[in-house]
């Protein structure tokens, strides 16, 4: 006998628990902890680069380990950001359709910030290698 108290119609309507809230909470907390050291490192790399010329910037970021760690930082920032902004959307956007669209926009922005920045850094490493 099934112990599932959610009717098939309710599932089709996506009502009831989202069943992924705990995961989001853990992503939020774990990414926050990881970001404490990562942002310090990325901040130091940034300090070297900000005033410098493009040639110097490429020399700094062209090192695979540096670029890799900065890319990792951006990806984890994107995960943390997506989870946080999603909470804000759930609080303030009342209409289901608009909220769904906003969630997609949030995902698109997170992909730009995370994997997007990683692609840009890969580009930089390849260019630095000549």
Partner 1 sequence: MVDLLRVERVLITLMPADQITRPLSPHIQIYRWSIAMAMSIAHRLSGLMLALGAGLVALWLFALADGGALYEAMQVGIGSGVGQGLGFLFLWAASHHALGGIRHLVQDTGRGFSLPAVQAMGWATLILAPLLALVAFWGLTR
DSSP type of residue 50: T
Residues 75 and 115 sit within 8 Å (Cβ to Cβ) = yes
Q: Evaluate the CA torsion angle 95, 101, 107, 110 in order and state its sign.
A: negative
Q: Count of CB atoms within 10 A of residue 49's CB?
A: 17
Q: Which stretch binds partner 1 (CB under 8 A): 7-15, 16-24, 38-46, 97-105?
A: 38-46
Choosing from 38, 66, 102, 121, the residue that interacts with partner 1 (CB under 8 A) is 121
Choosing from 14, 21, 54, 130, the residue that interacts with partner 1 (CB under 8 A) is 54
Unique residue bearing structure tokens 């989001």? 24
Q: Does residue 112 interact with partner 1 by CB under 8 A?
A: yes
Residue 33 gets the label, from left (phi > 0), alpha (psi -120 to 50) or beta, of alpha
Q: Does residue 124 interact with partner 1 by CB under 8 A?
A: yes
d(CA 72, CA 57): 18
Q: Does residue 123 interact with partner 1 by CB under 8 A?
A: yes
Q: Does residue 104 interact with partner 1 by CB under 8 A?
A: no
Chain residues in the site for partner 1 (CB under 8 A):
29, 32-33, 36, 39, 43, 46-47, 50-51, 54, 57-58, 61, 74, 77-78, 81, 84-85, 88, 109, 112-113, 116-117, 120-121, 123-124, 127
């Amino acid at each position: 006998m099934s112990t599932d108290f959610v009717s098939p119609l309710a599932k089709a309507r996506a009502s009831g628990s989202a069943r992924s809230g705990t995961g989001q909470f853990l992503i939020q907390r774990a990414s926050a902890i990881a970001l404490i050291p990562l942002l310090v490192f990325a901040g130091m790399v940034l300090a070297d680069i900000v005033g410098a010329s493009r040639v110097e910037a490429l020399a700094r970021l062209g090192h695979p380990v540096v670029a890799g760690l900065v890319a990792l930082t951006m990806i984890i920032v994107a995960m943390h950001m997506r989870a946080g902004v999603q909470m804000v959307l759930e609080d303030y956007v009342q209409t289901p359709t608009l909220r769904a669209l906003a969630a997609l926009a949030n995902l698109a922005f997170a992909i730009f910030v995370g994997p997007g920045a990683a692609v840009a850094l890969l580009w930089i490493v390849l260019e630095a290698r000549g």
